[in-house]
Amino acid sequence: MGDANAMSAIAIELEDLTVGYQRHPAVHHVSGIIAAGSLTAIAGPNGAGKSSLLKTIIGELRPSSGAIKHRLKATDFGYLPQAADINRRFPISVLDTVLLGSWRQARAFAQVTSAELQKARDALAKVGLEGFDRRGIGSLSAGQFQRVLFARLLLQDAGVILLDEPFTAIDGGTTRDLLEIVAGWHHEGRTVLAVLHDFEQVCAHFPETLLLARQVIGWGATADVMSQANLRKARAMAEQWEDGICRPAR
């Protein structure tokens, strides 16, 4: 990982951020600070703008108004998209998938070094996939593939890690193992944001939470933010969106 002093300066500021996605409102007037080295869950109902917020932070989406302020380079970010956004039919091996995490250190078209190969194999061992090097990603279970993507993040060695629903539709054993890796990143002083639907995971493993329902319902210590009053408010706002959707006549 990078220099410890550089890591201590990492912070992301959201300043009155509004985002639209495919002409639909996603995030409204969000302001706040993502502290350096923080471990933050982004929680909220479906359609709350959680994934859109992550995509805006990494630059995949452009704000409609407001700003995201930081002094980070694109290579300072590690990003894990939702599993549904990844094409697993592409004919690539497990090892080559993990090696994609070293692209920022490698020169264009340069041959992979023995040191990089060893780091990739070490990352696979850390996520419990030692010996899976030559297997195609299309042959893996959902949990195994998610382990591969975490190994790629380990190799990428980024200071800020954004995870979009990293534990959805995977088995409990894999979830426990990957949560340990997330805790390790936090212990190392990296900044981690994760979109989560499981409120038990949020409360048990994430000290900070942004509760989002297109706008901020609460942002701060998880025990304070995940109150029954805040959760009721988020659900009520989600019901208002559903009421506004035209339904076919029966």
Say how many residues make up the chain.
250
Residue 108 forms part of a structural domain: yes
Residue 129 forms part of a structural domain: yes
Residue 249 forms part of a structural domain: no
pLDDT the model gives residue 104: 57
Residue 69 forms part of a structural domain: yes
pLDDT the model gives residue 85: 74
Q: Rounded distance, CA 60 to CA 165, Å? A: 17
Residue 74 forms part of a structural domain: yes
Give, for all 250 residues of the chain, the pLDDT tens digit.
Answer: 444 444 445 689 999 999 987 777 799 999 999 999 999 999 999 999 999 999 999 999 999 999 999 999 988 999 999 977 787 888 899 999 999 888 755 554 467 888 999 999 999 999 999 999 999 999 999 999 999 999 999 999 999 999 999 999 899 999 999 999 999 999 999 999 999 999 999 999 999 999 999 999 999 999 999 999 999 999 999 888 765 543 443 3
pLDDT the model gives residue 9: 55
The enclosing domain of 238 has a CATH number of 3.40.50.300
Residue 180 forms part of a structural domain: yes
- Per the structure, the complete domain to which residue 77 belongs is given by 4-243
Tokens 């949560």: give the residue.
179
The number of beta carbons lying within 10 Å of the beta carbon of residue 87 is 8
pLDDT the model gives residue 2: 44
Residue 133 forms part of a structural domain: yes
Provide the domain count of the chain. Answer: 1
Residue 248 forms part of a structural domain: no
Q: Rounded distance, CA 9 to CA 5, Å? A: 7
Q: Max CA-CA distance within the chain? A: 64
